[in-house]
């Protein structure tokens, strides 16, 4: 696409006629006899001035006409991505055991919960088309962030979470119940929950079979993640939750492994969004066209006054 001075030309080939016009102007001139009064200098100077002005107006009229015919325009692309991704509930264990350090071998001073927050924040950024919410659990579970497309706000909420915010124990069943509560009214075609914990279920107000039945009823697929040493979390329980809901269980003994787990889930549950792109054009042909018409009118008037018309 031909572009000049920030403007694109829809029919750039038309500008070639400007060169043809210039060539014809100088190579194909019509020679006519003229009458000069050599003894009247003022007349010859006036005629020369008018002749130059007429030439300028003629060039302006023709050149701007061709520019108008070339259709100059500016454009901007508009991408419309429909929000048809997944609805995802992120359930994070904030019990006292998450204060243990050494989970990230590169940043030993960070506790488990800090590492989890960093990894989850990165995961949130990758789910650009999805609606995400956060459930935090300890001795009880609560919804820290309702479903939202605003990834900046969601990441900020995650970063502000602290260990012990929901008590010292681990209520896994309650967390799953709150995750289902977050997603049950969702109209999304795909609903998933990601439950992360480093412990055993030590506190609960609901029965496991009840929450699993609700997960199946609302077609919520649950991925479970056990972090830390294998004896620290209940593998049998996490595997049952995942297998009964059509999900998958993962284990992570380090921050690096946890990052890989979330990448794997991201790959398994990748939302296929068909975006639409539009080009909005603003045309400016009327400006050179107006200048061409005005130049032509002035050319005719002056030529008439000179007595050549």
Q: Which pLDDT band holds residue 36 (cuts at 50, 70, 90)?
A: very low
Sign of CA dihedral 30, 36, 41, 47: negative
pLDDT in tens, 226-277: 999 989 999 999 999 999 999 999 999 999 999 999 999 998 887 654 556 7
pLDDT in tens, 102-140: 998 888 889 999 999 999 999 999 998 899 999 999 999
Which phi and psi (to 5°) does residue 298 adopt? -65, -35
How many CB atoms are located within 10 Å of the residue 57 CB? 20
pTM above 0.95, yes or no: no
pLDDT in tens, 38-95: 454 544 555 555 678 888 888 888 889 988 898 888 888 776 655 567 899 999 999 9
- Listed as own residue / partner, the contacts of 142-146 with beta carbons closer than 8 Å and 24 or more positions apart are 142/166, 142/178, 143/178, 143/181, 143/182, 146/182
User: For position 94, what pLDDT does the model report?
Assistant: 96
User: For position 8, what pLDDT does the model report?
Assistant: 85
- From residue 171, alpha-carbon distances to 128, 200, 203, 217, 302 in Å are 30, 8, 5, 22, 93
Which phi and psi (to 5°) does residue 74 adopt? -120, 155
User: For position 22, what pLDDT does the model report?
Assistant: 82
Query: Does 308 or 1 have the greater pLDDT score?
Result: 1
Tokens, residue 232:
């620290």
pLDDT in tens, 77-90: 776 655 567 899 99
Q: Which residues pair with 135 in a beta bridge?
A: 91, 143
CA pair distance 252, 200, nearest whole angstrom: 15
User: For position 179, what pLDDT does the model report?
Assistant: 96
Q: Using an 8 Å Cβ cutoff, are 180 and 214 in contact?
A: yes
Mean pLDDT of 3-17: 81
User: For position 1, what pLDDT does the model report?
Assistant: 59
Residue 209 has pLDDT above 80, yes or no: yes
Residue 163 has pLDDT above 90, yes or no: yes
User: For position 238, what pLDDT does the model report?
Assistant: 97
User: For position 82, what pLDDT does the model report?
Assistant: 55
95-123: string of b/e by CB count within 10 Å (b at 16+)? bebbeeeebbeeeeebbbbbbbbbbbeeb
CA pair distance 126, 259, nearest whole angstrom: 12
Q: Which pLDDT band holds residue 28 (cuts at 50, 70, 90)?
A: confident
Mean pLDDT of 6-35: 76
CA pair distance 88, 179, nearest whole angstrom: 9
Report helix, strand or coil for 82.
coil
The residues near 99 (Cβ < 8 Å, ≥ 6 apart) are: 111, 112, 113, 163
């Amino acid at each position: 696409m031909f572009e000049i001075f920030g403007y694109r030309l829809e029919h750039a080939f038309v500008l070639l006629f400007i060169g043809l016009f210039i060539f014809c102007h100088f190579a194909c001139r019509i020679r006519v006899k003229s009458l000069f009064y050599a003894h009247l200098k003022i007349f010859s100077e006036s005629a020369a001035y008018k002749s130059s002005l007429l030439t300028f107006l003629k060039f302006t009229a023709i050149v701007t006409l061709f520019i108008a015919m070339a259709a100059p325009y500016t454009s901007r692309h508009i991408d419309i991505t429909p929000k048809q991704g997944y609805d995802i509930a992120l359930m994070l264990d904030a019990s006292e055991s998450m204060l243990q350090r050494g989970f990230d071998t590169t940043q030993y001073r960070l506790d488990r919960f800090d590492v989890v927050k960093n990894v989850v924040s990165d995961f949130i950024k990758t789910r650009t088309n999805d609606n995400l919410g956060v459930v935090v659990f300890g001795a009880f579970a609560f919804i820290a962030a309702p479903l939202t497309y605003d990834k900046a706000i969601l990441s900020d909420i995650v970063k502000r979470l602290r260990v012990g915010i929901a008590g010292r124990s681990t209520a896994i069943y309650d967390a799953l119940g709150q995750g289902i509560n977050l997603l049950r009214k969702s109209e999304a075609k795909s609903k998933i929950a990601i439950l992360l914990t480093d412990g055993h279920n030590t506190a609960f107000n609901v029965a496991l079979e009840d929450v699993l039945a609700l997960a199946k009823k609302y077609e919520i697929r649950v991925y479970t993640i056990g972090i830390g040493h294998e004896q620290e979390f209940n593998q049998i329980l996490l595997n049952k939750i995942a297998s009964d809901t059509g999900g998958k269980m993962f284990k992570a003994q380090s921050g690096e492994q946890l990052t890989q787990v979330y990448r794997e889930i991201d790959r398994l549950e990748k939302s296929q969004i068909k975006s639409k792109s539009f080009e909005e054009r603003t045309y400016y042909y009327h400006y050179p066209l107006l200048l061409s018409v005005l130049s032509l009118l002035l050319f005719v008037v002056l030529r008439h006054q000179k007595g050549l018309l």
